[in-house]
Chains A and B, each alone.
Chain A
Amino acid sequence: MPSSLRKSAALTVMLAATACSAAPLEHYIMSDPPDASIYVNGKRVGKGDNLLHQFDFSQCDRVWISAVHPDWRAETKSFTANQIRRYKADRKNIPFSLGR
């Protein structure tokens, strides 16, 4: 492959990657129990029964998600955009399994 073509290809890949990182990232959050409240970056966004959420990484490089239920131990975890993309690629929900 000619060098100029290789450079163009690399530039295209870089531009695509930039565009992807800015694109909204949607994925599902699943908690056990499913009626746990889900908070993303301190804001309550719904219950963890396969909750579809649009994650915003424009101002931060991690999101903090908490699952809260009055009868279970709350859990808080942080996720990068890449970690969420991996769950999405593996067709797995973002899991929260609360303990007693």
Chain B
Amino acid sequence: MKLTSSALRTSALSVIACMAMTACSGIPTKTFEFQSIDIREVNCPSMIVVNDDWDTAIAEKQVFDGTKMERFSLKIPFARPTVMVRAVPLPDGNVPKSRGDLRNNPSRYAPDQRELRMTDPTVQLFVFNLTR
């Protein structure tokens, strides 16, 4: 029993320590505003994928939809000096259920990507070329 309560206490302390570390980790963030157009300069819906994290992009609906917004705002943590941001054109503007969903229903436009720094301009425009 003594061992159990000790283990519980250790676990609780570990959880608190983890939470405190997360809160105080001080990973800097920056909010970017994304927009995407095609080569005709028409707004083109896209999903914004950061550091190849498709699960978060899909779960959090990280989508620029020009019919509903001027730009899509996204707060990005910078655990490293740069992050890779990819804009993936969405053929119908809907949030895909999975990455495979997009593979099965590809856009006529190719994705665009760039490495961003904290010190880059807030507004980032992606321009989609036709797939070759």
Q: Which A residues form the contact surface with B (CB < 8 A)?
A: 37, 39, 41-44, 59-64, 66, 68-70, 72-74, 76, 78
Determine the distance from Cα of A72 to Cα of B127 in the docked complex, in whole angstroms.
12
Residue on B with the closest CB to A99? B129
Determine the distance from Cα of A41 to Cα of B125 in the docked complex, in whole angstroms.
7
Chain B's nearest CB lies how many Å from the CB of A48?
13
B123–A43 CB distance below 8 A:
yes
With a CB–CB cut-off of 8 A, which chain A residues contact B114? 64, 76, 78
Among A41, A61, A73, contact of B123 (Cβ-Cβ < 8 Å): A41
Q: Interface code B66-78, partner A: CB below 8 Å = 1, 0 otherwise?
A: 0000010000000
Instruction: Tell me the interface secondary structure of chain B in the complex.
Output: strand
Q: Interface code B51-65, partner A: CB below 8 Å = 1, 0 otherwise?
A: 000000000000000
Q: Which B residues form the contact surface with A (CB < 8 A)?
A: 33, 35, 37, 39-41, 71, 112, 114, 117, 119-129
B39–A42 CB distance below 8 A:
no
B121–A66 CB distance below 8 A:
no
**With contact pairs A60-B119, A66-B127, A76-B112 given, residues A42 and B41 touching in the complex (Cβ less than 8 Å):** no
Residue on B with the closest CB to A74? B127
Chain A's nearest CB lies how many Å from the CB of B31?
13
Residue of B71, B117, B125 contacting most chain A CB atoms (<10 Å): B125
A63–B121 CB distance below 8 A:
yes
Determine the distance from Cα of A19 to Cα of B119 in the docked complex, in whole angstroms.
20
Subset of 19 A-B contacts with CB under 8 Å: A39-B127, A41-B125, A42-B35, A43-B123, A60-B120, A60-B122, A62-B117, A62-B120, A62-B121, A64-B120, A64-B124, A66-B127, A69-B39, A70-B39, A70-B41, A72-B39, A74-B39, A76-B114, A76-B127
